[in-house]
Amino acid sequence: MRGIPHDSNNCFAVFLFSMLFFVYLFSGSEVVFANDLGLIEAQALNQHISDWVILDARPKPEWMSWHIPGALSFSWEDYTRTDEHGIPYRVWTPQEIAKTLGGMGIDDKTPVVVYGDADKSWGGEGWNCWVLSWLGHTGPIRMLDGGIQSWRNSRFPLKPGEENTKRKPVQYKFKLNPHIDIATSEIENQKTNLVVVDTRSTLEWFKGKIPGAIHIPWDNFFSGNERRPLHPDALKKLLKKKGVDTNKTIVYYCTGGIRSAYAWFVHQLSGLSSAINYEGGYEAWKR
């Protein structure tokens, strides 16, 4: 989907898709929530920019320098912290994230576009999409295909500094989707049913890893000068080449769940069975 459709045929498709949000997919006694995830091209966003709330996943200084008009800063650096066990990069509690989003005028049904640059954002755009999915967001979640590079290369406008983009505060009603996160104990107890993929750099990999993990650096999950998310066919070839059994549940991890969330997002678009982001990452595993 490239934007909020306006013709009747597409409206019916959106209605049908929206109805799926209220259908529970049962696995035993557990409930799995569907999320409306996808990509959006720069041209489509520019044409229908008022239909979306836009989140800039780059570090805040980058957002201050220049950003898509109306974009709100939402970097993982500002919404993670060291937890009570000394593990860094842990996402804020869902209550805190929901309160923050509500204060930004975003509720759980708001259509959201996320963008970054894959490089300086360290995959933070994927992390934003993962956090919204984890919260049970029912509105459309789109990543800008090609990120800020594609917007700039299309010669669309950019704005520097703070903007008067305050929206009326709303209530964000979250309903956690626990099936896209995993605890350290679950990885230990379910090793035979999981394929664990380490998305860190080669240097980090050599310094230590989760036993049995397969190494696929996170920058393998995007390609080209605009760092576009890997096409589903290319992802499937990559996973096959690395010996990843896609019939098993795939757990992506990095240091603290940021780069691995980007890999998770690319996986979600591939049509393969759902994957998991180990949000605690190697920092949690070490402890």
In-domain check, residue 91: yes
pLDDT bracket for residue 2 (50, 70, 90): very low
145 and 23: one domain?
yes
CATH number for the domain harbouring residue 222: 3.40.250.10
Q: What is the mean pLDDT of the chain?
A: 89
In-domain check, residue 199: yes
- pTM for this entry: 0.88
Q: Within 10 Å of residue 148's Cβ, how many Cβ atoms?
A: 28
What pLDDT sits at residue 106?
Answer: 98
Over residues 53-94, the pLDDT tens digits come to 999 999 999 999 999 999 999 999 999 999 999 999 999 999
Per the structure, the count of domains in the chain is 2
> Beta strand pairing status for 72-73 and 80-81?
unpaired
Over residues 147-173, the pLDDT tens digits come to 999 999 999 999 999 887 778 999 999
Which letter, b or e, does each residue of 93-119 get, where b requires 16 or more Cβ atoms within 10 Å of its Cβ? ebeebbbebbebbbbbebbbbbbbbbe
Distance CA 194, CA 245 (A): 9
In-domain check, residue 3: no
